[in-house]
Structure 1
Amino acid sequence: MKLSRKQNTRRRHQRIRRKVTGTAACPRLAVYRSNQNIYAQVIDDAAQHTLVASSTLDAELRQALSPGSNQTAAAAVGKQVAERAIAAGIKQVVFDRGGKLYHGRVKALADAAREAGLEF
């Protein structure tokens, strides 16, 4: 039986989440990519609490970026979430690509977060 793209993504994400969990010492950087936007959250799974978040819908980024989701926007979100995490005292995270391939916008976000100081 052939699975749809959405089902394949969901299966990949479940496989990733079996191995990747965030703790208070090393939270999870979760990325969600839609067609129009990209979202990033730093999550403590033990406490079930989002510590910091950023997306292309943030007022600061919306004014600075042109409409549409692209690698430039993803990089800006990665930089912003890393800055917010470091301000909250978080330096080390585990990366959760949300079942998406590590390519394009997801990779741009991860690279920008690393350049801004997050370690993963």
Structure 2
Amino acid sequence: MSVQILGKGKKVALKRRHARLRKHISGTPELPRLVVTRSNRHMVAQIIDDTKGVTLVSESTLTSDFAGFEGTKTEAAKKVGELIAKKAQDAGITAVVFDRGGNKYHGRVAAVAEGAREGGLAL
């Protein structure tokens, strides 16, 4: 399956990189996919089983866990990783495939992965 994304700009380039990554990465029931979505203000992490097309666990800086959070965006991203690791372990998930969503593995995206590792998930 070939996906052709045409156009110029940052968002189009991000979609193109993510489509290129998704050719090689997919989640299974045994090894689901940890997807990180990054915006200027928030981070969202989801663990997805691609065979069923179901989100198993999700965590975000938009949830009530972050209502009184004081810290940088990178610290918030790390906390998202730790919280999703805890939720994943409660759901019986111990290992995942990391999908950076077309973003560089740097900064807040790397902080989510680091937090997930510290929380006990194997990436």
TM-score, L = length of structure 1 = 0.93
SS of the residue 2:22 aligns to: helix
Q: CA deviation at 1:61?
A: 2.1
Equivalence map 1:69-84=2 (5 Å): 70-84=73-87
Q: Return the offset for 1:8.
A: 1.3
Which has the larger helix fraction? 1
Is the Cα contact below 8 Å between 1:61 and 1:76 reproduced in 2?
no
Stretches of structure 1 that go unaligned for 5 or more consecutive residues are none
- Corresponding residue to 1:95 among 94, 98, 101: 98
After TM superposition, the structure 1 = structure 2 runs for residues 6-21 of structure 1, keeping only pairs within 5 Å, are 6-21=11-26
CA contact (8 A) 1:27 1:45 kept: yes
Identity of aligned residues (%): 46
Q: Partners of 1:62 and 1:12 in 2: how far apart? A: 33
CA distance in 2, matches of 1:101, 1:4: 16
Structure 1 runs of 4+ off > 4 angstroms?
none
- Deviation, 1:6, is 1.2
Give 1:46's match in structure 2, choosing from 35, 44, 51. 51
For the residue of structure 1 that corresponds to 2:56, the secondary structure is: strand
User: Counterpart of 1:19 in 2: which secondary structure?
Assistant: coil
How far the C-alpha of 1:60 sits from its partner, in A, is 1.4
What amino acid sits opposite 1:88 in the alignment?
A
TM-score normalised to the size of structure 2?
Answer: 0.91
Q: How well do the aligned residues superpose, as a CA RMSD in angstroms?
A: 1.4
Partner of 1:35: 40
